[in-house]
Amino acid sequence: GAGVSQSPRYKVAKRGQDVALRCDPISGHVSLFWYQQALGQGPEFLTYFQNEAQLDKSGLPSDRFFAERPEGSVSTLKIQRTQQEDSAVYLCASSSRQGSTDTQYFGPGTRLTVL
């Protein structure tokens, strides 16, 4: 079956530009997560949705980062006025239920490079 998909796979932005990263979770999955993975590091949590509700956004590094999931399916992570330190791989994951034991299934990621 189809897994988690993300687009674009690669994005190059000039400093100061706005970008939008898309995540299509596995159909029917209730929970959706965004993580940021800097080069050579483990992924770090950004934000979490249960259906359309954003329940945790404690990992968003600044108010330039904004995420939404308006219909409880596709999610978009938007970064305004990109900075060089935003360069990273942005990973999306989904799980079928809400709970700490549920497996999170990851997409391939979007590699963002800010020049």
Partner 1 sequence: AQSVTQLGSHVSVSEGALVLLRCNYSSSVPPYLFWYVQYPNQGLQLLLKYTTGATLVKGINGFEAEFKKSETSFHLTKPSAHMSDAAEYFCAVTYTGKLIFGQGTTLQVKP
Task: Give residues in contact with partner 1 (CB under 8 A).
Answer: 4, 31, 33, 35, 40-45, 48, 56, 59, 91, 93, 98-109
CA–CA distance, 71 with 59 (Å, rounded to integer): 22
Residues near 96 by beta carbon (within 8 Å), at least 6 away in sequence:
26, 28, 29, 30, 31, 102
Cβ proximity to partner 1: between 51 and 83 the closer is 51
Cβ proximity to partner 1: between 77 and 109 the closer is 109
Minimum Å gap between C-beta 105 and partner 1 is 8
Cβ proximity to partner 1: between 33 and 86 the closer is 33
